A and B are shown apart, each in its own frame.
Chain A
């Protein structure tokens, strides 16, 4: 369902739901994913991983492995170029441990062999001498003064003196007088929360094929959210020039932020360089869980004061995030997002990033925001319960709006939170009756969105069709949306356009597919590239007609004289101009490159009904509705898919998903049998309500939509479960054992 109350241009293609261009390939199994690429003479590689959560690498003896028949090469950290840049060094050290292993599953050697079995057998012949070190996997424990130090000397200048060396960064945001604000409150609630690390849970494991020739040129095929970033990282680690490494992104079986970096790609390249043969690596699911990015785990304190009529007088949050064994800045995003939905005169958030012996965090849709907003929205809900207030009315009363000084600093311009809340309040779901034992929860959510570096080429073919080359892997329907925007701008049918994803040698740099940026930024570049091509086509028509270029306009896919004074000529369609292009100056193409800004922030509100089985502790989701300020929905089916997908991932995060570490520091549930993601039978239909509040930063009003939907589900589910069982839960996931424990206490 789409609510659309704002006047705007009349679209012909944008806003429709054409068939997805990747649909046939995907349903017939023809689409080529990362593991589907092969090459003659290819070797298979496997990676040796640490069984220790924390240990010094005293020595690595690879001689026996190298002597095994069929083994062609072994690499360790010594085969890569040591990096000066801290963040690049962290990525490399995560791909291949150098002096210490920092978590269970940390890679420290790799073998390329003629068969997978030989490569696996060779791993067992590598003799590693470890010196086990004390470990810490809990964020709060890691902040204590006596905690084992994961990495020394990594604290930034922002960390106050006297803190554990595991604290690598500190941030603070906010404004106003907290003490005065809390003094005005009729009720102050202060609670502590924890959230477990969760994995993005993409179905396709990481996979790549690397081929480097003796002259130092290399090709790399991989599943990634950003082939240009892969090139940048791998070229540095291998000591190559970027121009000598071509990276091609495969179709992608899910990423959600987790494929914005590299894990196996530089390893495959190093092995290919050493062997002179193509090398393929495909991660097992166990490896994906152990060694690729989960989210941060968190521990959060929230304190909010409210008057008896529902006005928030002051709000404070302390956030402690751990992104595993390497520094990360995710807590900055959480601390900025925590109270972004509220118009507050006194607000403060403080954040600390903490090292633990866990895998290096990778981004996961709206990184850092779901955890923070879960804690805040839980306390807001508890205040509403205790004061007997309607939780939607309270959010409407306190909602950020145009002119609000946001909790992270800037003043909001046009934003859609109030419209989104009002849509939720007007929806039948909000007033539907609940049975005994059922609970309804809601939460608002926020994400920034951004634009970024973008480059698009648009080629007009002589038969009147158009090819678009863009540089961002399609993780959410961008090929369709980009074709639609080009069709809209050019005035030709959608099915006359094909959009493809370029390799790194075929198009200028494009930032990673992240930050909900692609439909916004690549779409904007596509519109500009189409306008560039239109200008050239108008120029060609002008020359054919013998009139000034300025006297030609583009209307409904054809060049026309601008008015009676320009002359009387029949319109020339795109196809007619393209057909004679060789005679009028050569091929016609449009191009645009820029660093996009003006993405526009986004808000969502989620409403969920649940029923809790008091005997088993299992939660059943009965009804779920997502409301989101999505800007203009270019392809509404994809927008709805993003909203539904975020809700489902959030349901999993709230109810079941968690990284479970034993006292030995080892991950206990590295597989989908023990790491429980929601499946279709766990879920009701997820209803969606798109609010098309135009983004003033885009000519069609487009906003990013991919990340906001994962922000509200955690609190919405927690509030629903808490209301259903009559006891508030302050820890995620709300797995059956945790709910039974809460019930036994309650």
Chain B
């Protein structure tokens, strides 16, 4: 299981939990599972999210592997100028 930290305004879609656990070995599985287990997150995930894995931020990269001890944080999709 992977523990995923959810940002505050999305907690209303995870029963108030700031961290949820899902079965996933890479980003695609993780996002699919989050959308399935917490349908309220699906619109945000479809609009775009970033994921931080052990402090490193990824904007896409479905097949990035996640270890069971990895720190995973869901973040808004990064934009820049």
Interface size counted on chain A using CB atoms at 8 A: 48
List chain B residues, Cβ under 8 A from A260. 81
Q: Which residues of B contact A366 (CB under 8 A)?
A: 80-81
Cα of A308 to Cα of B47 in the assembled complex, Å: 45
| Cβ–Cβ contact A329 & B77, under 8 A | yes
Kindly list chain B residues whose C-beta atoms are within 8 Å of the C-beta of A707: 80-81
Contact (Cβ within 8 A) B57 A448: yes
Interface size class of B (residues with CB under 8 A): 20 to 34
Q: Is the interface of A mostly helix, strand, loop or mixed?
A: loop
Within 8 A of A (CB), among B15-42: 18, 40
- CA–CA, A258 and B58, complex, Å: 24
B78 A171 Cβ-Cβ under 8 A = no
Could you tell me if B80 and A515 are in contact, using CB atoms closer than 8 angstroms? yes
Inter-subunit contact A171/B57 (CB<8 Å): no
Contact A598 B56, beta carbon cutoff 8 Å: yes
Determine how close the nearest CB of chain B comes to the CB of A273; give it in whole angstroms: 31
**In the bound complex, CA of A256 to CA of B80 (Å):** 10
Contacts A157-B43, A410-B57, A597-B56 given; does A367 touch B8 at CB 8 Å = no
Q: Which residues on B sit within 8 Å (CB–CB) of A449?
A: 80
Residue of A nearest to B9 (CB): A172
The answer to the question of A240 belonging to the interface, with a C-beta cut-off of 8 Å to chain B, is: no
Minimum distance in angstroms from A329 CB to a CB of chain B: 6
C-alpha spacing A364/B80, complex, angstroms: 8
Instruction: Chain B residues near A350: list those with CB within 8 A.
Output: 8-9
Q: What are the interface flags for A572-601 relative to B under an 8 Å C-beta threshold, 1 for contact and 0 otherwise?
A: 000000000000000000000001011100
Check if B61 is an interface residue, CB within 8 A of chain A. Answer: yes
Of the stretches A330-338, A480-488, A531-539, the one at the interface is: A330-338
Q: Does A697 contact B (CB under 8 A)?
A: yes
Cβ of A411 < 8 Å from any Cβ of B? yes
Report whether B76 and A514 are in contact in the complex, using a CB–CB cutoff of 8 Å.
Answer: no
A388 at the interface (CB under 8 A from B): no
The 9 closest A-B pairs by CB, nearest first: A257-B81, A515-B80, A172-B8, A363-B81, A410-B52, A409-B73, A332-B76, A172-B9, A413-B55
Show 29 A/B contacts (Cβ-Cβ < 8 Å), sorted by A.
Answer: A156-B43, A157-B43, A171-B9, A172-B8, A336-B75, A350-B9, A365-B81, A366-B81, A367-B80, A408-B75, A409-B7, A409-B75, A410-B54, A410-B55, A410-B57, A410-B71, A411-B54, A412-B55, A413-B54, A413-B55, A413-B56, A449-B80, A450-B57, A450-B59, A450-B80, A515-B78, A516-B80, A597-B56, A597-B61
B contact set with A: CB distance below 8 Å = 5, 7-10, 13, 18, 40, 43-44, 52, 54-61, 64, 71, 73-81
